[in-house]
Chain A
Amino acid sequence: MRDFLASIGYSGWVLPVLLVLPLLGVVAIQAEGAVSRRSGSDIAAQGAARWIALLAFLAEFVVSAGLWWSFEPASAGWQARVDIPWIPEWGARFTLGVDGISLFMVLLTTFIMPLAVLGSWTSVRDKLRGYYSLMLVLTTGMIGVFLSLDLLLFYVMWEIMLVPMYFIIGIWGGERRIYASLKFFLFTFVGSLLMLVAVIYLWLSAGRGETFAYEVILGNSGQFSHHAALLLFGAFFAAFAVKVPMFPFHTWLPDAHVEAPTAGSVVLASIMLKMGTYGFLRFAMPFFPSAAMYPWVRATILSLAVISIVYGALVAMVQPDFKKLVAYSSVSHLGFVMLGIFALTLQSVQGALMVMINHGISTGALFLLVGMIYERRHSRLIDAYGGIARVMPMFAAILTLVSLSSIGLPGTNGFVGEFLVLLGSFRVHPYLTLVATTGVIFAAAYLLWAIQRILFNRLDKPENEHLPDLNGREVGMMAVLALAILWIGVFPAPILRRMESSAAAFVQTVESGARRGALAEPVGPIAVNGGGR
């Protein structure tokens, strides 16, 4: 496989193609629209749009899948790098590259997107061309965020995702869609603007006003005074913590997730939430290690992570609305990611990356399942169901499997990530980890309790007696997800192998940077609460 990929020069063109392909899909959808409008066919029947979108996403997945083989696991550097001048006047370049961290984010994106299209196959009936065009544009933005190695390009991609998602929630969402979309936009936008100020400062200081290149800025970031590093880290933190979302910046999330159409929720949960944690891994921590590892900063973030874990789980437990329950469970899961990243051991960081992947798969699957019963019954309330395992056995089986993976049962993907995070964090922060572990128990409580009330109680509502079971399309997409869940759960080694050197490099960069900062700083050694390994 590698020889074949090398023979077609794969790594030379794959990354730009990944960005362009969805846009070609948009062009195709609009061209098809223009043709069918001219020929006077029924305007409401825009079904071709979803086929085009599906094909574009499948092509995108096939193209990106080659990265799995062409990726060189031993190297922590950038691979498949592309570097083209963009705005020479300001030194901005169109620089793309993957490492062991972004590789999986890209693969996760291209894996989830076709499923998201299938998930909205019948539930979105209005203005299909606009809807699928926005999904495609969104994909370009998301992949761009994960691939950008130029700070300005990253910022542009980061912002551009906002617009399609704003429209997807606001036009095709539920009852409170307008409120939810505005809240989503404004929360993210205010964080991004603070990041913008930091980007300008980095460009003018570390980049000398001449370059936005990631390596250059990383190399010069040691020059900041402690005070400046704290401020800059704070600006990046604002952008990323909103996106993660960490308690107490999470309040946009339940609204946006619940009001978004199914595919929107899937994309939000599976991919967009990862951008916050990805931002910490790629930018905020390597740029400002001394600020991120400063005792009270680190203690605050670790505490917030643990609060997110427990708080998200507890709030999820009392939700009457199943979609909201899943939304709050995301807060809890992403808390594990933040814990793993800031605990800063090799296991915990690898675990955090695994949780990012697993949460993408499991929570995406949960949102798809919620969408399926909502389409049939038009209610998301847990109380509206009960005993539907009897009428929808296939649905029940899959929901149970996915819930177990979300809880983290050994043998499913969820176990691998959370176990590694807890293992890695326990060595440096035993007490915090102890508290975090309760999150796993609470997860079992809220999900098992919820599926008990949905699937297994008495079938006492007459409306539920004739719910049709999953159809072929739905079973097909869930089967793909179930395979992924089991494969990662049983044999995660290929994934861990590919992310290991990048994760190690991350830990090493941050630790050495923090140590250097600590030496320069008279305040005392950095990791007071046992950070030394």
Chain B
Amino acid sequence: MRFDLTVPWQLSAALGPDLLLAGGAMLLLLWCVWRPESAGHQRSVGAWSIALCVLTIAAVFWYGHQQVTSGPGIIAVDSFRWAADLIFLGATIIALMLAMDYNERERITVAESHVLVLLATSGAMLLAASRDLMMIFLGVELMSISVYVLAGLNRRSAVAAEAALKYFLLGAFSTGFLLYGIALLYGVTGTTNLAAIGQWASVAGRASSPMLLVGIALLLVGFAFKVAAVPFHMWTPDVYDGAPTPYSAYMAAAVKAGAFAAFFRVWLEAFPLAAPSWHGALWWIAAITMVVGNLVALAQSSIKRLLAYSSIAHAGYILVALVSGTALGAASFLFYLTAYTLATMGAFAVVIALGQAGEIRLAVTDYSGLWRVRPWLALAMAVFMLALLGFPLAGGMGFFAKWYVLQAALRAPQPQTRLAVVLVLTSFVSAGYYLRVLKVMFMNPRAADMPDPMRVPALTQIVIGFAAGLLLVFGILPSPALEFSRWGVSVSGPMAETPIGPPLTRLDR
């Protein structure tokens, strides 16, 4: 099936899953205010939200299966979009399940919170779909504004309010950069369409036009802020630390993923010819992000801040895939994102399971001797930590994810050997803090006055078991996930045409 995006109804059809999710979210919003706030209502809205996500996943599958394509226009209809959507929706379901249990424990009865998550996901899906800078701006705003509210959802918590305010102010500032970059790009190229910008720059001499470069630089700042890359990462630890934990997990996974999806598309579709000018900047951002994220994580004593810095470090690893600038890089991004989403959300789920009302007990040392009282929980956390470390088998998919990114870096037309070395060395550094969590859980004695952790609610249990299980299965047999990520760059779209470098023939270049 091929959509002609200039015809309104066909454009709407091409946006089918997005409209389904956004429209369903609106209906749910009405359902929210229909009944008074209560714990039961909160749960039922959550359940309906999950059902809506499942429905959307089915729609995405259908679109992907039909191999629909489109003519030129403001949105992309290709497998990269569907693959990214599936990851967002999976992360959303996990976040909703965690939030239902969490809200009940924290006595948050605002049922609209679930709808906000759905709206943020709509924004992320829009980002993955957009082939136009204005659409990207809309997606970023839809996603960010919903998440600002989610960060401050717990009105009784002062840190949450601080996190929300900080996130909002800095986020608004960075959106300003993004918008200014878009304006400059429009000013110099006369279009906001990614393909058209790419075509404009293909005329000799234009790719180094100063205004284009300034525009790219501002866009880079905006995206780097959204994906939490150093040096635009300062908000991340505070916000992840202060926000309610399910939404920290959501931000670390889905929000970051949405921003990255747009980042990849803009850079691979609009700016490939300007690569000589942005390559250096992106290279350094990737390298510094890996180094700073991992080094600072070593010094963290709070588990949420530790995971926040770990998510910064992982943004650096994903940037390596972007720097390689190939379809293989985009495929490795999808694979990495799957592994990272499962591991990070799983780790946050364990944090939720072990937290207590009011978000206390968040220091790493509060996990002392966890193995003696909750062996399976400790084992699951060990899997997530080792997955983030990129350890084979015990860390499941994590190892293959790093392998894939390294492969993409080394097989790029200009092999990123040095960046690959930085990735490997910083992975070694990261062992320092991931192992510390393991050490505390398994080797430290449990203090006598430490209360036993509360019973883990059913949905949280399911999330933890599912994430750990999937990581381990894909860690032994990664082929289905590899197929998925390859499919993600296969059908239509200029990304499928970007070259994969040849295997190395000589090593000494």
Contact = CB atoms under 8 A, between A and B. Distances in A.
A197 B420 contact: yes
B486 interface: yes
A311 interface: no
A197 B424 contact: yes
A89 B393 contact: no
Interface stretch (B35-43, B247-255, B435-443, B489-497): B435-443
A228 interface: yes
B421 A197 contact: yes
Contacts of B428: 186, 189-190, 193
Contacts of A181: 439, 443
Contacts of B479: 87-89
- Say whether chain A's binding surface is mostly helix, strand, loop, or mixed: helix
B443 A171 contact: yes
A201 interface: yes
A310 to B, nearest CB: 32
Q: Which secondary structure characterizes the binding site on chain B?
A: helix
Contacts, number: 94
Question: Most chain-A CB neighbours within 10 Å: which of B386, B392, B432, B479?
Answer: B392
Nearest to B482: A89
A186 B431 contact: yes
B187 to A, nearest CB: 43
Interface residues of B, number: 39
A209 interface: yes
Contacts of B372: 127
A448 interface: no
Contact of B442 (A160, A170, A182, A189): A170
A140 to B, nearest CB: 10
Interface in A179-216: 181-182, 185-186, 189-190, 193-194, 196-197, 200-201, 204-205, 208-210
B73 interface: no
A159 B392 contact: yes
A206 to B, nearest CB: 9
Interface in B371-419: 371-372, 375, 386, 391-394, 399, 403, 406-407, 410-411
Contact of A159 (B391, B406, B432, B504): B391
A504 interface: no
Given A89-B482, A181-B443, A193 B424 contact: yes
Nearest to A226: B508
A277 B479 CA distance: 33
A177 interface: yes
B455 interface: no
B334 to A, nearest CB: 13
A399 B505 CA distance: 56
Nearest to A208: B503
B504 A163 contact: no
B7 interface: no
Interface string B442-476: 11000000000000000000000000000000000
A178 interface: yes
Contact of B392 (A156, A197, A208): A156
A232 interface: yes
A498 B375 CA distance: 46
Nearest to A152: B403
B72 interface: no
B391 A201 contact: no
B508 A159 contact: no
B507 interface: yes
B410 A204 contact: yes
B339 to A, nearest CB: 15
A224 B507 contact: yes
Contacts of A205: 503-507
A185 B508 contact: no
Given A204-B503, A204-B504, A155 B392 contact: yes
Contact of A200 (B375, B403, B442): B403
21 contacts: A86-B477, A87-B477, A89-B482, A127-B372, A156-B399, A159-B392, A159-B399, A160-B392, A160-B394, A181-B439, A185-B431, A189-B428, A193-B424, A193-B425, A193-B428, A196-B424, A204-B407, A205-B506, A209-B411, A225-B507, A232-B507
Q: Ordered nearest first, which 9 A-B pairs have the shortest CB separation? A: A228-B507, A209-B503, A156-B392, A170-B443, A89-B482, A204-B504, A205-B504, A160-B393, A225-B508
Given A181-B443, A186-B431, A200-B403, 4 more contacts: A88-B479, A166-B435, A166-B438, A182-B435
